[in-house]
Amino acid sequence: MAETKKWAMVIDLDRCTGCQACVVACQAENNIPINEEKDFLSRRAKQWIRIDRVWEGTWPNVKARFIPVLCQHCENAPCEPVCPVYATYHNSQGLNVQVYNRCVGTRYCANNCPYQVRFFNFHDPEWPDTFWNQLNPDVTVRSRGIMEKCTFCIQRIRRAERTIEGRDGGKVNDQSLKAGNYMPACVNACPTNTLTFGDINDPNSDVSRRARDPRHYKLLDHIGTSPSVIYLKKVDPNAPEEEAH
Amino acid sequence: MIPKFITPKMLIIPIALGGLLTTAVVILVAIFLLRAWFSTPIQIFGFPGPPEQPIAFPHTAHVDIEGINCAFCHRNVTKGDAATILPVEGCLLCHSTVQGENAPPEVAKVIEHYNNNRPIDWKRVHRLPDHVQFSHEPHVRFLTEVQGLELEAACATCHGDVRDMVEVEQVRSLKMGDCVDCHRDNEVLTDNPDITDCTTCHY
């Protein structure tokens, strides 16, 4: 391995249509139980990636803006130091990971998360009987009393590593494990290429190229969490400086 | 202090109740701890022994005498997560001719399963908890390519000498300590800093 990886995601808000394909894909990939109305009403719905809707302007000139929000995999993650059992920590690839079997369910991490992207299992997950057969075998079904969150689909990263190791003869290198060989479910499902995933330490990767876009910003950057998810501001066709065209 | 008007005789019932309550609590805690310990996949005091399989399949006859390679029946072991077992049709690859007529009772059962289109309900011998993700393929690859073992010896690293087992049973605890010991020992060989990372197995 030449240098360590740091997985990151770029979300181009100009392309997001708010179609929720990423939400559904994540739900299916990560064995997330079905969110019913009562779950939303009790604020216990689990959506590892969600589309926040923001209204902009006043009537009649109102615009709906969409922001996909997932675990930001902060370098300075507020959730990590508060965990009494080290169930959440940073691994060498820059992922903020959650070890389900270590978690004792104190919920400190969720309370300390400024992005509200950690979800607690208040009940054992339930699916209709036939749905149990379509669960993803690569992902643990989280039982009652533990915290869960977006993993950047680490099961897919691991599977890609295994496949590439097997094919290329025992070594994962930067050339072989690159974007396109693997991607999280949400990136895979996005119809408009809003989401890009990759290794931001590699200056030639898609994700670092798009992260250099002048529109880039990070969610709640001023609080110093330094997230790994980079947003690109929406281009407003009606913005004053654009009217000159 | 106990007031004067309460005689020791009157205290017998409350003390007895308190004793019973304490005993009950202690027993409940003991049950909880014992269950927590023993509900892990393997008991500590020896292994539970081989499960009773629907058809007595002697690995001795197939591996030791016939010399069939592990990966012939467990086809996926070098390719994927689960080792897998051949479907009944796979048994019939050989048993349609080998011991086909005048079949001994156990082979007759296999043929009956085939004729009735019924899969064989093999009992699982090795089981990991749900929160552990294990894939055979990288382990077999490491043992055969990096350590240079034959496939059968690679399998025997964890599964013991199945060649000599009439009934297959578990020989290693396969608890986390067992896994981590091996991962630590081979950290240098794999050249993978993540090999002892939690997320290697838990995600």
* A175-224 tens-digit pLDDT: 556 555 678 999 989 999 999 888 888 888 888 889 998 999 999 989 99
The pLDDT of residue A243 is: 47
CB contact under 8 A, B202 and A140: yes
Among residues B131, B195, B183, B198, which one has the least CA distance to residue A85? B198
Using CA atoms, how far residue B180 sits from A220, A235, B185, B195, B196, in Å, is: 39, 50, 8, 9, 7
- Six-digit token string for A208: 């670092």
CB under 8 Å to A13, separation ≥6 — which residues?
A65, A66, A67, A194, A231, A232, A233, A234
Q: Which residues of A touch B (CB under 8 A)?
A: 1, 89, 91-93, 95, 97, 99-102, 137-141, 151, 154-155, 158, 162, 165-166, 170-172
Adjacency order of strands within the sheet including A7-12: A195-199, A7-12, A229-232, A216-217
CB contact under 8 A, A158 and B199: yes
The pLDDT of residue A237 is: 73
Answer yes or no: is A2 within a domain: no
CB contact under 8 A, B203 and A171: no
- Per the structure, the complete domain to which residue A12 belongs is given by 7-235
Answer yes or no: is A107 within a domain: yes
Is it the case that residue A245 has pLDDT exceeding 50? no
Name the more confident of B127 and A239.
Answer: B127
CB contact under 8 A, B203 and A162: no
Domain tally, chain A = 1
The pLDDT of residue B47 is: 65
Report chain A residues whose CB lies below 8 A from the CB of B197. Answer: 91-92
CB under 8 Å to B42, separation ≥6 — which residues?
B48, B170, B173, B174, B175
CB contact under 8 A, A171 and B191: yes
Is it the case that residue A240 has pLDDT exceeding 70? no
> What is the C-alpha to C-alpha distance for residues A176 and B117, in angstroms, rounded to an integer?
44
Is it the case that residue A106 has pLDDT exceeding 90? yes
CB contact under 8 A, A100 and B202: yes
Q: Which residues of B touch A (CB under 8 A)?
A: 81, 129-131, 133, 135, 137-138, 141, 145-146, 191-194, 197-200, 202-203
- Is 0.90 surpassed by the pTM of this model? no
Question: How many Cβ atoms from other residues are within 10 Å of residue B103's Cβ?
Answer: 15
Is it the case that residue B103 has pLDDT exceeding 70? yes
Per-position DSSP letters for A133-145, written without gaps between them: GGS-TTSPPP-TT
Q: What is the mean pLDDT of residues A112-132?
A: 91
The pLDDT of residue A1 is: 43
Name the least confident of A167-181, A191-205, B157-171, B186-200.
Answer: A167-181
> What is the C-alpha to C-alpha distance for residues A184 and A152, in angstroms, rounded to an integer?
6
The pLDDT of residue A122 is: 92
Using CA atoms, how far residue A26 sits from A33, A54, A234, B55, in Å, is: 11, 22, 24, 42
* A35-91 tens-digit pLDDT: 999 999 998 999 999 999 999 888 888 888 899 999 999 999 999 999 999 999 998
> What is the C-alpha to C-alpha distance for residues A198 and A208, in angstroms, rounded to an integer?
8
Answer yes or no: is A123 within a domain: yes
Q: What is the mean pLDDT of residues A167-173?
A: 57
Answer yes or no: is A77 within a domain: yes
> What is the C-alpha to C-alpha distance for residues B85 and B13, in angstroms, rounded to an integer?
63
> What is the C-alpha to C-alpha distance for residues B120 and A179, in angstroms, rounded to an integer?
42
Q: What is the mean pLDDT of residues A108-114?
A: 93
Is it the case that residue A2 has pLDDT exceeding 50? no
DSSP-derived letter for residue B11 is: G
Is the separation of the CB atoms in A165 and A172 below 8 Å? Answer: yes
> What is the C-alpha to C-alpha distance for residues B181 and B184, in angstroms, rounded to an integer?
5
Mean pLDDT, all residues of chain A: 86
Among residues A178, A184, A197, which one has the least CA distance to residue A12? A197
- Taken in order B145, B150, B155, B158, the sign of the CA dihedral is negative
Is the separation of the CB atoms in A47 and A23 below 8 Å? Answer: yes
Q: Which residues pair with A119 in a beta bridge?
A: A148
The pLDDT of residue A80 is: 93
* B4-45 tens-digit pLDDT: 777 778 888 888 999 999 999 999 999 888 876 665 544 555
- Residue A147: pLDDT band (50, 70, 90) is very high
Is it the case that residue A242 has pLDDT exceeding 50? no
Q: What is the mean pLDDT of residues B116-136?
A: 89
- Six-digit token string for B172: 């290693």
**CATH number, position A119:** 3.30.70.20
> What is the C-alpha to C-alpha distance for residues B58 and B178, in angstroms, rounded to an integer?
27
Answer yes or no: is A222 within a domain: yes
The pLDDT of residue A97 is: 92
CB contact under 8 A, A92 and B193: yes
The pLDDT of residue A185 is: 92
| Percent of chain B topping pLDDT 90 | 22
Answer yes or no: is A99 within a domain: yes
Answer yes or no: is A241 within a domain: no
- Six-digit token string for A151: 């993993």
Answer yes or no: is A37 within a domain: yes
Name the least confident of B33-42, B157-166, B173-182.
Answer: B33-42
Ranges of H-type helices in B39-175? 59, 70-73, 88-95, 105-115, 136-141, 151-159
Question: How far B97 CA sits from the closest chain A CA (Å)?
Answer: 36
> What is the C-alpha to C-alpha distance for residues A116 and A111, in angstroms, rounded to an integer?
8
